[in-house]
Amino acid sequence: MSEALNIEDLRTLAKRRIPGFAFCYVDGGADDEVTLAHNRAIFRQFRLIPRQLRDVSNIDISTQFLGQKVERPFGICPTGYNGMLTHQGDLKLARAARRFGIPFIQSTMSTSSIEDIAAEMQGGEHWFQLYVLKDHSISARLMERAHAAGCSTLVVTTDAVILGNRESDRRNYTRPQVLTPSRKINVLLHPRWIMDVLVPHGIPIFGNLTEFLPKSQWSARDGARFISQQMTRALDWDHLERLRADWPGKFVVKGLLHCDDVEKAIGIGADGVILSNHGGRQLDGAVHPMEQLSAIKDRIGNGCEIYLDSGFRRGTDIAKALSLGAQGAFIGRASLYGLAASGQQGVELALNMLWDELEACMGQLGCASVGDLRPEMTIAGAPI
């Protein structure tokens, strides 16, 4: 771990530390992974214009997300099945987020329950991500639990009503949740992971779903099947508006990329949106949020807060998004690589890397605060 200098180094360590099937699950994208690759390439297209001779002896990277102070202008994305990377993966992510004063968005598909994470996040920014399900009473119950547990913000994911075709992941299985013989052998070559994840506790289950399933169907296989049957393709703006009306806290729509959709989100009362292509795991060929950010800001001004995710691996990536008007960035795989490499310590290392890089970048740009990052400091050009 001490040799890891950046997120890519953590990715390399994660690849070594966990079995191949688990790494593919985290690392892979949809179809030909064109969007997955684009999510990194795009940041090379945006370049920074530094200002000199400004006092940057004290750099403050704190900001506000939805009216609450956050110590750093980034947070942790919702990701499902984190308990497969390390025992109690969600709890470790949540603890690291609380220590760093940043939001943790817990997935519907978390391997911990809402209540367990809430107990860990006391005083921290615990947001809950909802997959809207066919059975409205389940969505309603999850929202009720999230509110009762003190989640400040509901994040509704809109871009996964049809699951992306993740072939790199599917190749590991002969049928759902049954690994191919070579992947089974590969698992045996990871005794440390077996002792951490499998042996003492058994295969992790979906902590938020147990209430809706008989005990005999709590397994990951049954839970995944239940959710895939429950995903509704009928999700539309009317439905989202009703969810907004039912949720008493802040409301964020995740997975938008089109200006008109962001305007609609504001129209139904959203406080924020997360522009996202789901980290290249859904529609292959989708644009990157950075390509849409300026146009969306021009159209909506301060109509709601704009967050971005997908492909953030460097502090400079975050600085570019902030300078073009994003309120903050959310990171998915960057924190998961840390989690898989070394649990909570690995997540904290990842967050520290991004923090240090962002602070250094802001200093080199002549910015002592997040508010000093201005649109004229970032230009788009041909890739380098």
Ligand X SMILES: Cc1cc2nc3c(=O)[nH]c(=O)nc-3n(C[C@H](O)[C@H](O)[C@H](O)COP(=O)(O)O)c2cc1C
- C-alpha distances (whole Å) from 6 to each of 46, 255, 352 are 20, 27, 10
DSSP secondary structure string for all residues of 188-245 = HT-HHHIIIIITTT-S---TTTGGGS-GGG-SHHHHHHHHHHHB-TT--HHHHHHHHH
| Residue from 38, 126, 190, 278 carrying the catalytic annotation | 278
Closest-CA residue to 308 (of 325, 278, 294, 328): 328
CB of 280 to ligand X, least distance (A): 7
The answer to whether 256 and 268 have CB atoms below 8 angstroms apart is no
CA gap 324, 377 in Å, rounded = 8
- Residues contributing to the site for ligand X (CB under 6 A): 25-26, 39, 77-80, 107, 109, 129, 157, 254, 276, 278-279, 281, 309-312, 331-334
* CB nearer to ligand X: pick between 93 and 187: 93
* CB nearer to ligand X: pick between 132 and 367: 132
CB of 135 to ligand X, least distance (A): 18
* CB nearer to ligand X: pick between 318 and 361: 318
Q: Which residue has the tokens 């470790």?
A: 92
* CB nearer to ligand X: pick between 118 and 334: 334
- C-alpha distances (whole Å) from 175 to each of 29, 83, 118, 167 are 19, 21, 35, 13
Regarding beta strands 378-380 and 46-48, do their DSSP bridges make them parallel or antiparallel, or are they unpaired?
A: antiparallel
CB of 25 to ligand X, least distance (A): 6
A 10 A CB-CB count for 3 gives 7
- C-alpha distances (whole Å) from 178 to each of 69, 167, 174, 355 are 45, 15, 6, 39
CB of 57 to ligand X, least distance (A): 32
The answer to whether 319 and 362 have CB atoms below 8 angstroms apart is yes
* CB nearer to ligand X: pick between 211 and 298: 211
Give catalytic status of residue 126 as yes or no: no
* CB nearer to ligand X: pick between 207 and 311: 311
At 330, which amino acid appears?
Answer: F
CB of 70 to ligand X, least distance (A): 18
CB of 48 to ligand X, least distance (A): 21
CA gap 75, 127 in Å, rounded = 10
Closest residue to bound ligand X by CB? 332
Torsion, Cα 43 97 145 137, to 10 degrees, reads 20
DSSP secondary structure string for all residues of 229-287 = HHB-TT--HHHHHHHHHH--SEEEEEEE-SHHHHHHHHHTT-SEEEE--GGGTSSTTPP
* CB nearer to ligand X: pick between 78 and 343: 78
CB of 51 to ligand X, least distance (A): 29
The residues annotated with a catalytic role in the active site are: 278
